[in-house]
Chains A and B, each alone.
Chain A
Amino acid sequence: MLRRTPLYEEHKALGARLVDFAGYEMPVQYTGVKAEHQAVRTAAGIFDVSHMGEVFFRGPDAEAAVQRLVTRDVSRLEAGQAGYAAVCYKSGGTVDDVLVYRRPDGYLVVVNAANREKDVEHFREHTTDLDVEISDESDEWALIALQGPKSAEILQRFTSADLSGLRYYRFVEGEVDGLSATISRTGYTGEDGFEIFARPEDAPVLWRRLLDAGATPAGLGARDTLRLEAGMCLYGNELDEDTSPLEAGISFAVHLNKTPEFVGQAALRRQKEEGLNRKLAGFEVVGRGIARHGYPVVAGGREAGVVTSGTQSPTLNKAIGLALVSPDVEDTFEVVIRGRPAEARVVPIPFYKRER
């Protein structure tokens, strides 16, 4: 039996196409991926991301626990600030990629839905000696992402929180339309926007308010094309238990000099000293065809890696992708599309950057 988010009935009413995603019945699209993608790039879209997991760390050793579990130095976060981080195995492989929110009463770690149980188990296993309460409160929260250049204008109509003063990766406890909510200036689209944590029973009202205010409902299909254009990793594609955050190109979220050390820190330091075996490359397909997850990469006649994500970019109207390739791959390589090599050109990540 698939699980449903508090917004399930809203998706049905909007005629969404629902699919199984991480055990949840989730909207993959409402009207069409391209139109929803475009709405987020040019105006505002709303996504139901209530399937994401919310794990709270409370107690005297909450900070010590989170420090041990994630790659970022969270002691540098101020209360009201969030940071992107990886969770690693001792091997340096990745358990998950997460957002860490520093709250007045502890830490909130937002995890991928598919990894929730595995993460909580990993968190507990590595903190048995600490005085911390690790609480999976995923079912007590709905999460709505409002993304796009018109997001602030739309949301400001419904909240007394001063959004113009809320910087990127900051969050505030407040209300939206009189309903208590945490408003976070974060997202997974490469646009300005907010993620709104609300009580499950309040979520349908908030959802409808934002729709009525002009936000376009957007599904997981658009979420994926948007994040890929923005060069953001997806766990299970760019990151997995055999891939380190350094290989996947998120070293900005890894503080290798942290003390005390996080799980996997020694392995990652060694990787860095000895040189990485793989690196993440952004590419465009030069000829015809679309590269997809799992397609082989060939360079100089030899196998040189694999495509981790690929799609036709709705904004650029080109086939783009990310690939884990050997470190000596430089400007070009070939992607094998259904048995035929197609030329690909390495381009900077992100593929798309919004004007600020």
Chain B
Amino acid sequence: MSNVPGELKYTRSHEWVREEGDTVTVGITDHAQEELGDVVFVELPQVGDSFGAGESFGVVESVKAVSDLYAPVGGEVVEVNEALNERPELVNEDPYGEGWMIKLKAEGSGDLLSAADYEKHLAEEAE
């Protein structure tokens, strides 16, 4: 069973969100990194770019597959995790920590799931 920290919020497309005031940190879940396998490339936006909720803000690639990353909430990018340029494997090793992807200055709130609801969503997907 993959790790789903209780203090975070989630999307159905397997991003996680950590809310700190009006800034949110975004990454992909433990389940997502497991499904992808070895992450070899992460393409992130630039600071200052803006995205609507549900819009693709980047791409994560494993050896085999290319997957879009979706903004859980709308907002402006205030920081990106530059470490992933050199070490994309951080997404596998520490998806909720060093493998974070972007920080957004949130505008409004997206349609986010609680940890319990995300676990339910994972169980449904597995069926």
Q: Indicate whether B19 reaches chain A with its CB closer than 8 angstroms.
A: no
Binds A, one of B60-68, B72-80, B117-125: B60-68
* CB closest chain-B residue, reference A32: B38
Number of interface residues of A (CB under 8 A): 19
Are B64 and A290 within 8 A (Cβ)? no
Q: Which residues of B contact A224 (CB under 8 A)?
A: 64
Are A312 and B40 within 8 A (Cβ)? yes
1/0 per residue, CB under 8 A from B, across A304-339: the answer is 000000011010000100000000000000000010
Name the interface residues of B30-52: CB closer than 8 Å to any CB of A: 37-38, 40-41, 43
Are A221 and B66 within 8 A (Cβ)? no
Q: Which residues of B contact A289 (CB under 8 A)?
A: 41, 43
Q: Indicate whether B59 reaches chain A with its CB closer than 8 angstroms.
A: yes
Are B63 and A33 within 8 A (Cβ)? yes
* CB closest chain-A residue, reference B56: A338
5 contacts between A and B (CB under 8 A): A17-B37, A32-B37, A221-B64, A290-B66, A292-B66
1/0 per residue, CB under 8 A from A, across B62-98: the answer is 1110100000000000000000010000000000000
Q: Which residues of B contact A311 (CB under 8 A)?
A: 63-64
- A338, B56: Cα distance in complex, Å: 12
Q: Which residues of A contact B43 (CB under 8 A)?
A: 288-289, 338
Give the top 9 A-B pairs by smallest Cβ distance, nearest first. A312-B40, A33-B63, A34-B38, A32-B38, A221-B64, A290-B41, A33-B38, A290-B61, A33-B37
Name the interface residues of A75-119: CB closer than 8 Å to any CB of B: none
- A28, B43: Cα distance in complex, Å: 24
- Given A289-B43, A292-B66, verify A312-B37 contact (CB < 8 Å): no
1/0 per residue, CB under 8 A from A, across B87-120: the answer is 0000000000000000000000000000000000
Number of interface residues of B (CB under 8 A): 12
1/0 per residue, CB under 8 A from B, across A266-305: the answer is 0000000000000000000000111010000000000000
Are B63 and A34 within 8 A (Cβ)? yes
How distant is A37 from chain B, measured CB to nearest CB, in Å? 8
- A338, B60: Cα distance in complex, Å: 12
- A314, B66: Cα distance in complex, Å: 16
Given known contacts A33-B38, A288-B85, A290-B41, what 5 new A-B pairs fall within 8 Å (CB)?
A17-B37, A33-B37, A225-B63, A311-B64, A312-B41
Q: Which residues of B contact A312 (CB under 8 A)?
A: 40-41, 61, 63
Q: Which single member of A29, A292, A338 contacts B37 (CB below 8 Å)?
A: A29
- Given A29-B37, A32-B38, A33-B37, verify A314-B63 contact (CB < 8 Å): yes
Q: Which residues of A contact B66 (CB under 8 A)?
A: 290, 292
How distant is B37 from chain A, measured CB to nearest CB, in Å? 6
Are B59 and A33 within 8 A (Cβ)? no
Are B64 and A338 within 8 A (Cβ)? no
1/0 per residue, CB under 8 A from B, across A1-40: the answer is 0000000000000000100000000001100111001000
Counting chain A CB atoms within 10 Å of each CB, the highest count among B40, B41, B63 belongs to: B63
- A261, B101: Cα distance in complex, Å: 59
- A196, B25: Cα distance in complex, Å: 51
How distant is A151 from chain B, measured CB to nearest CB, in Å? 23
Q: Which residues of B contact A33 (CB under 8 A)?
A: 37-38, 62-64
- A270, B62: Cα distance in complex, Å: 42
Are B63 and A221 within 8 A (Cβ)? yes
- A7, B40: Cα distance in complex, Å: 30
* CB closest chain-B residue, reference A311: B63
Q: Which residues of B contact A34 (CB under 8 A)?
A: 38, 63
Q: Which residues of A contact B38 (CB under 8 A)?
A: 32-34
Counting chain B CB atoms within 10 Å of each CB, the highest count among A225, A288, A290 belongs to: A290
